[in-house]
Structures are given as structure tokens and as C-alpha cells.
């Protein structure tokens, strides 16, 4: 929704009301706004601007109010509104009017503004808005505080405090000194927690309006946080308003609605019409509109209808005495001819403001200059501390002493100066001893009063120096350090070589990295490196250079700048003095290759690093090498069982701990490259290293990988025990970062060998949350993918499963996990097909994926490259696995059999996955169904026996999931050769599947039993089993399957008597009413 207006309100600056002529006469001694005041014999006569700020904005106000009223409703979805317009068109005052007009007492309306001079300050607008929100929350009852405290974990609160410290106003915890992860994953985790924080606060009782102004100056991390909020479909009772300048001077204007999944509206704030300019002049001069047309026509022509420029033009007319109050006629008067001779104010608004500022007392000017360098909004306490400091005065060079002669200024003098600036309309008063400039043009004009470049450089250096000293105090705020370093860098006065300034840059870089402000952190780190003499480094300078270089490489990598990160890694590897000094740089290099999916380069990097670490590995290990390494691992165990390894001592060799990380990463990349031998060899080396040196962060992953190796050679019991050992080891301190990847291996490959598959659902979610908490977003995504795959067969109701998978999809999009999202897509589409949300229920095409398009993308590589690309093979297999599950469920056995044959050549690529177990079941059932239909009976019985044998091997080794599934296969085998109508094995299978939670397989067993009874002409028995199948599919939520059953068995039964669709939301629905039923399905 968009509206383009030819009118506008007064200005971005909310103008406080001035006394009318009558009021001025009755209070001649009172102060008024000197910027819009004329005087006669010292008696101030003010223009009345109280009611002009929203002239001509009725349509725009209506759009904002309607959006606000919508989000106030119960459980109302969040919305976004973008306000565009030129500088001075009145965007800010339009939005701030919503606060004044619609405030009912328990709403939260908070604002943050971005600044042209602070574009590298991370989260600038969000920090301001969150501080205001925290203050508002702390002032109301404890209900909201309780919700926030109950919903957020202590770790999540710590993460919020590290970036938004103002929330400690109502949260009980204080920030710890523990270092935080400083990578892209930690930033993604912060975005998730911040959204959760907002969701805790928003409610019908406390709707939240978040206004972010001047988004054309938004910093990178704020932009990503806004996009994250805009994609959060869970937000309720929340309105995000963004104002952005639309000037020719501003390039690449940010559109916060471009990636939004929320309802979005847009307001384009245009210039005022002649009529509206005339209304402003009429109200300001208290003269009828007919008498002000000549003046307003001139103002309109000179200002182009820009409200802020019109106000400044009136101010100029007052100061030039071209607009004055006549006591003889008791009204305002002007000379249009003289006014016409002036130039257009739109070309000279900065000059007008500069002249206005320079007309003020010198102490006011000095206070404004200091404030302008602090930011658009500023604390009066900080301004006071700077102006009363003798150190600041000493930092001012002699040639500027005349301009800064009021220094030092007392607190009283500073307060008087800011009060004068406020009366002049240059600054506005905010709560908690804060001020803001009334418009960003005012801030720019204040800085322009320093006319010479040298003057500005000297003042920046003096302010940067004093702020740097203040930033080292315990009561300092984070922005002080950023501002100090920025001022010193911009001033070009910092020494070319200065170790102390390099240390300061490192401090700023670390602080920025903790806030996930990667661009700023990289800038500060690079600045610190440039202040070091790399050709003459003692131990102290070398250590400082190494820390700065590592941090800069990590920050450039985190923001996707692989060119600079590789350049820095190369410099580190070239100049480093020991192998240990290369650890962090090598990790950056490894992560870069992995991000680019250059598996070969990643493997080569890992091998080289391992050799440097003293853990040489073969480049092309043979099966004989693998066997020898396996035998070495057995020899090192010396008969010890997995449970005997629980008490291994902690690893005290940091080099071996680093080697364990690179072994795991290289093993993963080897598998992705298609080198199974090297992957297995490296997994065994991980285990040997842990046995020899003890437990470290990656040891649980090493145990899980060793268990996977055991499953490859058929030692399923031992494999399961090592999976249990891996989980047990995660309880030890220092292993938290390995939780996500360990959960993926244990619950995808090992746990199903002994435990019901349903028990893996929660651990996968735990792995996801832990991975997000510790920055391992890739493994967190794998946890969600595995949960999506098993949810279909593990008994999760389809409606709940779809809701969960849709949430997963938003996660994949946000964190750019496209490959993992592609792996989940078939299961989401399968779920939606069963729910009846696809045009053709037999084709995996809909909102989640397009089956034909996906298979065409995989097909060129599918026939020739699967042996070298198991990841591609698994994607291909994954689509077909979901497809044949769908086809078998709907009784399309011939199509399912054709599908089975397409993936038969893939062999064992995914044989250790738990999903393969259920695919074996479906493939076996497909072959038996084809044999029952008389289709190549001998061939299909042979194929069924192959799959049956695979399942029996697992069952013999204690796989509890196999037993109920094998009971269904036994019943199908019995039905193939016995036509007596004895359904005892089916009854047994149905009971066992029900107890095990296999809801889909139980429903299938009921239908197959009913069809078997039909084949044997046992009508009553078939009726009972089909009715039970109906009930099971109904409880499962498979509406499309219910429709198919009605059509399939329509000629046999009167379905209106036998079958009903049990709808949890609308009671019972007769199945024979196909038209209404089809509507429900859609």
C-alpha cells in the first residue's frame, strides 16, 4: 500500500509552541524562541508555529493510525511501515505525532536515529531505542519483566547485555567478563535472541511501536537485524516504522520492506502545496489566508514547498527584518518586493543555519560544537565533563583559543548554554538528561561553523583524546571508545607509528567484534596494524600485530570479504614465528574453503596444518591403511569398553586439541569431496588422539565418529555404546561447542540401533539450540534437517510437523543454509501433500519445492558423479525416498517400484543413516505389494528378501525400531502366500506399531489388512480394518489420504454410514459430502 502526497508537514523537527501575540503582550518579560521572534523596543513578538507541523498530512496520518490500530488487536500479526521523503519533508514529526495522539498509557513507543557521522557505530538506532524501551518497561508493573525473565535463559540474557547493556534496567543479571564468540554465527544467534526479546514484550496490552529514523545512514549490523525482524512471522502486536531520506545526494537507499514477510505499507512524504504553505503562513502570522497569499507564494517559490526550508526562510525574514510586527496595526507585515530579491533558501539552508548559530553567544556555540561531534543525540553529562576539563582546553591549539575562550565552562554555564540552544530551536530536550539536535541539518551546520579544515582536524583530535581518556573509566559507555577512535582516525593527527594507539584500536576492534559489528571491527584492527612498524617488531609489538591480524582476518571472513581475509592469512603465515601462532589463521583459511565449498582445497589445507601440528596423515589412505589404523585403535584400548573411557583425563596439550579440530573438519570435507577412505581414516585418527592425550572440546565428536566407523563394519552394539559415550562426554566442562555436531552423528547414525526413533526428536532440537548458542549454525541446520526427516514416520501429527518445518525453513533462509533447506524441502512437501495442500498429491510440487525442476538440476550429475559427490547423491536419494513414501502410502505401487529402481544403484552412500532403515522398510513393502499384484513375482520376492535381510541384521543386533516394522513385513509375506483370510499377523503388527509410535506405518498396516481381507472375500473383517485405517489416517491428519480412500472404496461401501472425517476444529463431517469435504481439504 502506498500513498504519494503533494503536501507535507512542517519539518522533521517537532517545533514546540510559541506564544501568540496576545500572550506575548501579557508576558513581556518571559523568554520565547528568538529564532522566530521579532522585537519592538526589546519586546519579543513571536510567530505562532504551534499548529503548523502537520498541515496537509491527513492522508499520511490516517495510514499510520490504521496500521497502529491493527497491531493493537488480540494476537495481531506484526507490520512494517516505510516513510520516504526528502530532507525536511516532515517524516519524523509525522511518526512522532503517532506517539502523542495514540498514546493510551500502556503502549511502548520507542525511537532510534541513525547519524551520518556515526555510520560505523554498531546498532546505533537500536541501542537508543532499546534503552528507551528498557526504561519504559522498568517503569510499569512487573508482568512484562516476569515474562522476559521466564522466557530468556541466562545465556541469552548475557548475549543481550553484551550488545544492549541498557536492558539491565529490568533484568536481574549483570554482564560477565567471559569472552563471546565473534563470528557470523554468534551474530545470527544474537538476532534470534533479540527477536525473542521483542516477542516477550509485545502483547495486546503492551503493543510496541519501534521507530528507526534516517535509515539512509544505517550501519551493516542494524540492517541485518532489521531484515531479521522483518522475516519473523511469529511477531505479534508490533509495528516497525522506518524513515528514510530520498534525496539525489543519497545513493543506495535502504528499503526495509524488500525482504519482509510481514504486511508492509509505504508512505511517500512529498512537498507542500501552495495552499498548505499558505495555511502555515496564515497560522504563523495570525492573519487570514487571503491576506497571506502573496507572502506564501514567495515562500513556496523559494523553498519548493519543503516544510523545514519554509520554517528556516521565515526565520531568515525575521532576522533580516523583512518580516516584523507592527504595533500600530497590531499585526505582522512584510515587503514582498524585498523578499523576492533573496535567493532560494533550498540552496542556502546550511548558510542560513550557520549564520543563525554564529549569532549566538560564544559559549553556546562551543557547547554545540562539542555536542555535534558526540552525535545526533547526546548526554548533557558528557558535554559537561568535556567542557569543564582543563585537559580539553590544553588540547586546543593556540590559534583556536580565541574561538574557544569560554573554556573551561562550569556545569551551570553548560546548562545555560544548552537551554539557550533549546530556546533557539536548535536542540530538543529528551528524558534522562539527554538532548538531540532538532534536525540533522542543524548538526551539520554546527560543524560547519569550523570553517577551516585545520580547525576541524584540531578539534577532532582534542575531542578524540579527551573521549579516549573517558572511555577507560569504569563508568564509561561503549560508544565513547568508538567515537574516540573514529575522531582520531578521521583527524589524521594520530602518529603514523604508535603502539599505544594500536592497542586502543585493538580494544575498539574487540568491543566491536563482541557486538558482531564485523565491518567496524575490521576497520579498527586494520588501523591498528597500519600504526605498527612491521620491519622492526620486538616481542610486544609482534604479539600485538599477531592479535590484530588474526582478529582482522576473522572479521573480514565473517562479513564475507574472503579476499582481504586470505590476504591477512597469508601475511600471518609468512610472518609468524611459530606453528602455534598460525592456529587462528589456519581456522579462517579452513572455514573460507568450506564456505566456498572448495572441498579439495579445504582437505589440502587440513592435511598441511595437521603435518605442521605433528599429526601427519596419508594423502591417499588405502583400505589396508584403514585396517591398520583400526587395529591400532583396538590395541590402544587394551580391552577397555566404551564405559571405561568415561574417566579419561582432560587433554593438556593445546596442539593436539587443535589437531583434533582439524581432523574432524578435514574428515567432513573429505566426505563431501567423496573420499570415504580418507574420511574413515581421519575419524579413526581422531579417536586414537583422544585415547592417547585425553578429553578436549572435540572428543565427544571423536567418540561419535568412531561409533560410526564401528557401524560400517557391522559392530552395531559397539557403535551404539560409543554413541552413548559421546553423549556422556558432553557433560564434561569445555565440550559445549561440540554438542550440535555430536548430536547429528549420534542420533542420525547410532542411537536408532537401540532406542526408539521418537527419543531422537528432542535431542535434535537440543543440538539445534546449542549450535545456535555457540555459533555452529551449520550443524544446527543439520539437526533440524534430521528431525524433519524422521518426523513423518515417528508419529508427529502432520499439522504440527508442517508448522515446525515451516519454522525450520525460515531459519534456513535467514542463516543462508540453502543446501540444508533443499534437503528438508521434500519432507515439507510430502507433509503438505498428505495434508491435501498440493494440486497433485502424487507429485512433490507445491510451496516447498518443484519435483521436476529439482530432479532436472540433479540429473546431469546423477548418472556419473555420485561416486565423487555423496552430498549430491544424498540429495537425489532424499527426493526419491520422500517420493516413494508418498506413492506407497497412496497405493501407487508400480510408480513406487519404478522410483525404487532409480536409486538402487546408489548402494551404501547413506547406509548408516537411520532414514535408510525406513527406506528399506518401504522398499521391501513395495516389492511385496508388487508380488501380491502378480507383477514379476519371483523378481520382487527376491528383492524383498534383500531388504528383509538388511533389516534382520539390525534386528539381530538389538535395533528395537526394526521389530515392529519386521512384524508388518511378516504379515505382508504371509498375505502373499496365504489366502485363508487369517489376519493374525496383521493384528500383531498393528498392535506393535501402535505401541512403538509409528503412526503412519500403523495406518498403512490397517489398510493393507483390509485389502487382504477383501482379496480373501472376508467382507466384515475388511470393513473393520479399513474403518480403523480411516481413523488412524484421520488422527494423523492425512486429509488427502482420506479423500483417496473414499474414492477408492466408494463402490464397495456406503461411506456416509461407515466413514466420517473427524475434524478437531469443527466436529464430524460426513464423508459423502464430497464438495464440502474438498473445500476443507483445500
**Strand, coil or helix: 740:** helix
Whether the bond into 211 is cis, omega within 30 of 0:
no
- Residues in the chain predicted with pLDDT less than 70, given as ranges, are 1-46, 48-51, 101-105, 117-120, 141-142, 171-186, 247-261, 342-348, 493-496, 516, 773, 775, 777, 811, 814-816, 859-871, 904-915, 1051-1082
> What is the structure's pLDDT at 104?
60
Contacts made by residues 386-393, CB under 8 angstroms, sequence distance 24+:
386/463, 386/466, 386/467, 386/470, 387/413, 387/414, 388/414, 389/466, 391/465, 391/466, 391/469, 392/462, 392/463, 392/466
Nine-digit cell at 889?
Answer: 502410502
- Distance, in Å, from the CA atom of 495 to the CA atom of 501, rounded to the nearest integer, reads 8
Helix (H) or strand (E) holding 210: strand 208-213
For 132-185, the DSSP string reads HHHHHHHHS-SHHHHHHHHHS-HHHHHHHHHH-GGGGGT-S-----PPPP-SHH
> What is the structure's pLDDT at 697?
93
pLDDT tens profile 464-518: 989 988 888 877 888 888 888 988 888 876 666 788 899 999 999 988 887 767 7
> What is the structure's pLDDT at 752?
83
Nine-digit cell at 315?
Answer: 526565520
> What is the structure's pLDDT at 730?
94
Enter the DSSP assignment of 331. E
Mean pLDDT of the chain: 81
Task: Report the DSSP beta bridge partners of residue 915.
Answer: none
> What is the structure's pLDDT at 871?
63
Task: Report the DSSP beta bridge partners of residue 3.
Answer: 267
pLDDT tens profile 1017-1062: 888 788 889 888 988 999 999 999 998 988 888 766 544 334 443 3
Dihedral angle, C-alpha 777, 778, 782, 787, nearest 10 °: 10
Residues in the chain: 1082
Residue 1023 · residue 1050 · CB < 8 Å? no
Cβ neighbours of residue 1023 under 8 Å, at least 6 residues apart? 1010, 1053, 1058
Nearest 5°: CA angle at 680, between 674 and 683? Answer: 125
Helix (H) or strand (E) holding 309: helix 307-319
> What is the structure's pLDDT at 50?
65
- Phi/psi of residue 707, each to 5°? -60, -40
- Distance, in Å, from the CA atom of 384 to the CA atom of 411, rounded to the nearest integer, reads 6
- Phi/psi of residue 77, each to 5°? -65, 155
Helix (H) or strand (E) holding 688: helix 676-693
Enter the DSSP assignment of 620. S
Residue 722 · residue 703 · CB < 8 Å? yes
Q: Which residue has the cell 571472513?
A: 557
Cβ neighbours of residue 405 under 8 Å, at least 6 residues apart? 362
Amino acid at each position: 500500500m502506498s500513498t504519494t502526497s503533494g503536501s507535507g508537514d512542517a519539518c522533521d523537527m517537532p517545533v514546540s509552541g510559541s506564544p501568540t501575540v496576545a500572550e506575548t503582550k501579557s508576558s513581556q518579560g518571559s523568554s520565547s524562541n528568538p529564532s522566530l521572534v521579532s522585537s519592538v523596543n526589546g519586546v519579543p513578538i513571536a510567530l505562532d508555529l504551534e499548529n503548523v507541523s502537520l498541515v496537509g498530512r491527513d492522508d499520511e496520518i490516517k495510514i499510520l493510525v490504521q496500521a497502529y490500530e491493527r497491531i493493537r488487536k488480540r494476537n495481531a500479526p506484526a507490520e512494517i511501515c516505510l516513510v520516504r521523503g526528502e530532507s525536511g519533508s516532515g517524516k519524523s514529526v509525522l511518526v512522532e505525532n503517532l506517539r502523542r495522539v495514540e498514546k493510551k498509557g500502556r503502549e511502548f513507543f520507542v525511537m532510534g536515529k541513525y547519524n551520518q557521522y556515526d555510520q560505523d557505530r554498531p546498532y546505533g538506532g537500536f541501542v537508543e531505542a532499546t534503552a528507551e524501551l528498557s526504561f519504559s518497561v522498568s517503569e510499569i508493573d512487573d508482568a512484562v519483566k516476569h515474562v522476559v525473565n521466564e522466557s530468556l535463559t541466562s545465556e541469552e540474557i548475557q548475549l543481550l547485555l553484551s550488545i544492549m547493556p541498557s536492558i539491565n534496567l529490568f533484568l536481574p543479571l549483570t554482564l560477565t567478563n567471559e569472552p563471546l564468540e565473534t563470528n557470523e554465527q554468534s551474530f545470527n544467534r544474537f538476532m534470534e535472541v533479540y527477536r525473542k526479546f521483542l516477542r516477550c514484550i509485545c502483547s495486546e496490552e503492551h503493543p510496541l511501536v519501534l521507530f528507526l529514523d534516517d535509515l539512509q545512514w544505517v550501519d551493516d549490523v542494524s540492517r541485518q537485524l532489521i531484515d531479521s525482524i522483518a522475516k519473523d512471522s511469529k511477531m505479534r502486536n508490533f509495528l516497525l516504522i522506518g524513515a528514510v531520506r530520498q534525496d539525489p545526494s543519497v545513493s543506495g537507499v535502504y528499503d526495509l520492506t524488500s525482504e519482509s514477510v510481514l504486511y508492509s505499507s509505504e508512505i511517500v512524504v512529498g512537498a507542500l502545496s501552495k495552499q498548505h504553505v499558505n495555511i502555515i503562513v496564515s497560522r504563523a502570522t495570525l492573519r487570514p489566508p487571503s491576506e497571506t497569499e502573496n507572502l506564501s507564494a514567495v515562500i513556496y517559490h523559494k523553498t519548493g514547498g519543503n516544510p523545514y526550508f519554509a520554517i528556516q526562510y521565515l526565520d531568515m525574514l525575521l532576522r533580516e527584518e523583512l518580516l516584523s510586527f507592527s504595533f500600530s496595526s497590531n499585526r505582522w507585515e512584510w515587503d514582498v518586493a524585498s523578499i523576492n530579491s533573496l535567493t532560494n533558501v533550498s540552496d542556502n539552508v546550511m548558510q542560513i543555519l550557520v549564520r543563525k548559530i554564529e549569532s549566538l553567544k560564544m559559549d553556546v556555540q562551543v557547547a554545540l560544537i562539542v555536542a555535534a561531534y558526540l552525535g545526533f543525540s547526546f548526554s548533557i553529562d558528557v558535554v559537561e565533563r568535556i567542557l569543564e576539563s582543563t585537559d580539553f582546553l590544553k588540547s586546543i591549539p593556540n590559534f583556536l583559543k580565541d574561538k574557544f575562550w569560554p573554556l573551561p565552562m562550569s556545569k551551570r554555564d553548560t546548562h545555560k548554554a544548552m537551554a539557550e540552544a533549546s530556546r533557539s530551536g536548535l536542540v530538543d530536550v529528551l528524558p534522562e538528561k539527554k538532548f538531540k539536535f532538532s534536525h540533522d541539518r542543524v548538526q551539520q551546520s554546527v560543524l560547519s561553523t569550523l570553517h577551516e579544515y585545520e580547525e576541524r582536524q584540531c578539534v577532532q583530535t582534542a575531542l578524540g583524546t579527551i573521549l579516549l581518556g573517558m572511555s577507560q573509566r569504569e563508568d564509561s559507555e561503549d560508544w565513547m571508545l568508538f567515537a574516540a577512535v573514529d575522531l582520531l582516525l578521521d583527524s589524521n593527527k594520530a602518529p603514523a607509528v604508535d603502539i599505544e594507539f594500536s592497542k586502543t584500536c585493538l580494544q575498539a576492534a574487540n568491543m566491536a567484534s563482541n557486538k558482531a559489528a564485523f565491518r567496524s571491527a575490521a576497520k579498527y584492527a586494520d588501523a591498528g596494524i597500519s600504526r605498527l612498524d612491521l620491519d622492526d617488531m620486538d616481542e610486544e609489538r609482534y604479539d600485538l600485530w599477531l592479535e590484530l591480524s588474526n582478529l582482522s582476518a576473522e572479521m573480514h571472513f565473517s562479513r564475507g570479504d574472503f579476499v582481504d581475509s586470505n590476504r591477512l592469512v597469508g601475511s600471518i603465515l609468512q610472518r609468524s614465528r611459530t606453528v602455534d601462532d598460525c592456529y587462528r589463521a589456519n581456522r579462517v583459511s579452513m572455514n573460507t574453503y568450506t564456505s566456498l565449498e572448495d572441498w579439495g582445497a579445504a582437505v589440502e589445507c587440513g592435511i598441511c596444518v595437521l603435518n605442521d601440528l605433528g599429526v601427519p596423515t596419508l594423502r591417499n589412505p588405502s583400505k589396508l591403511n584403514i585396517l591398520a589404523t583400526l587395529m591400532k585403535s583396538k590395541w590402544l584400548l587394551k580391552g577397555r569398553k566404551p564405559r571405561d573411557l568415561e574417566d579419561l583425563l582432560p587433554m593438556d596439550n593445546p596442539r593436539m586439541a587443535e589437531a583434533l579440530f582439524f581432523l574432524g573438519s578435514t574428515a567432513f570435507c573429505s566426505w563431501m569431496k567423496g573420499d570415504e577412505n580418507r574420511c574413515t581414516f581421519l575419524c579413526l585418527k581422531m579417536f586414537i588422539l583422544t585415547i592417547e592425550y585425553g578429553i578436549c572440546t572435540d572428543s565427544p565428536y571423536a567418540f561419535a565418529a568412531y561409533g560410526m566407523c564401528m557401524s560400517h563394519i557391522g559392530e552395531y552394539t559397539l557403535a551404539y555404546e560409543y554413541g552413548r559415550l559421546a553423549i556422556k562426554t558432553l557433560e564434561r566442562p569445555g565440550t559445549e561447542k561440540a554438542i550440535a555436531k555430536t548430536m547429528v552423528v549420534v542420533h542420525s547414525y547410532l542411537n536408532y540401533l537401540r532406542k526408539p526413533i521418537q527419543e531422537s526428536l528432542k535431542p535434535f532440537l537440543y543440538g539445534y539450540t546449542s549450535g545456535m548458542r555457540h555459533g555452529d549454525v551449520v550443524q544446527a541446520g543439520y539437526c533440524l534437517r534430521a528431525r524433519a526427516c524422521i518426523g513423518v514416520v515417528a508419529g508427529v501429527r502432520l499439522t504440527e510437523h508442517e508448522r515446525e518445518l515451516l519454522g525450520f525453513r525460515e531459519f534456513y533462509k535467514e542463516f543462508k543454509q540453502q543446501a540444508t533447506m533443499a534437503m528438508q524441502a521434500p519432507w515439507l512437501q510430502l507433509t503438505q501433500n498428505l495434508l491435501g495442500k498440493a494440486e497433485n498429491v502424487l507429485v512433490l510440487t507445491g510451496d516447498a519445492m518443484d519435483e521436476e525442476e529439482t530432479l532436472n538440476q540433479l540429473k546431469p550429475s546423477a548418472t556419473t558423479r555420485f561416486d565423487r559427490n555423496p552430498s549430491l547423491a544424498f540429495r537425489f536419494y532424499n527426493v526419491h525416498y520422500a517420493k516413494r513414501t508418498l506413492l506407497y502410502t497412496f497405493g501407487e505401487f508400480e510408480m513406487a517400484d519404478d522410483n525404487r529402481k532409480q536409486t538402487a544403484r546408489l548402494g551404501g552412500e547413506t547406509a548408516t543413516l537411520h532414514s535408510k532403515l525406513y527406506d528399506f522398510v518401504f522398499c521391501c513393502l513395495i516389492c511385496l505389494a508388487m508380488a501380491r499384484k502378480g507383477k514379476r513375482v519371483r523378481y520382487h520376492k527376491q528383492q524383498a528378501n534383500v531388504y528383509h535381510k538388511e533389516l534382520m541384521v539390525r534386528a539381530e543386533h538389538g535395533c528395537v525400531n526394526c521389530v515392529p516394522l519386521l512384524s508388518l513385513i511378516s504379515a505382508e509375506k504371509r498375505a502373499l502366500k496365504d489366502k485363508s483370510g487369517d489376519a493374525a499377523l496383521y493384528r500383531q503388527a498393528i498392535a506393535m506399531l501402535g505401541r512403538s509410535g509409528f503412526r503412519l506405518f500403523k495406518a498403512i498396516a490397517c489398510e493393507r489388512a483390509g485389502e487382504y481381507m477383501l482379496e480373501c472375500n472376508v467382507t466384515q473383517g475388511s470393513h473393520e480394518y479399513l474403518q480403523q485405517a480411516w481413523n488412524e489416517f484421520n488422527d494423523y491428519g492425512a486429509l488427502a489420504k482420506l479423500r483417496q480412500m473414499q474414492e477408492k472404496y466408494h463402490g464397495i461401501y456406503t461411506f456416509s454410514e461407515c466413514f466420517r472425517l473427524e475434524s478437531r476444529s469443527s466436529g464430524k463431517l460426513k464423508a459423502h459430502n464430497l464438495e464440502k469435504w474438498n473445500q476443507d481439504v483445500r
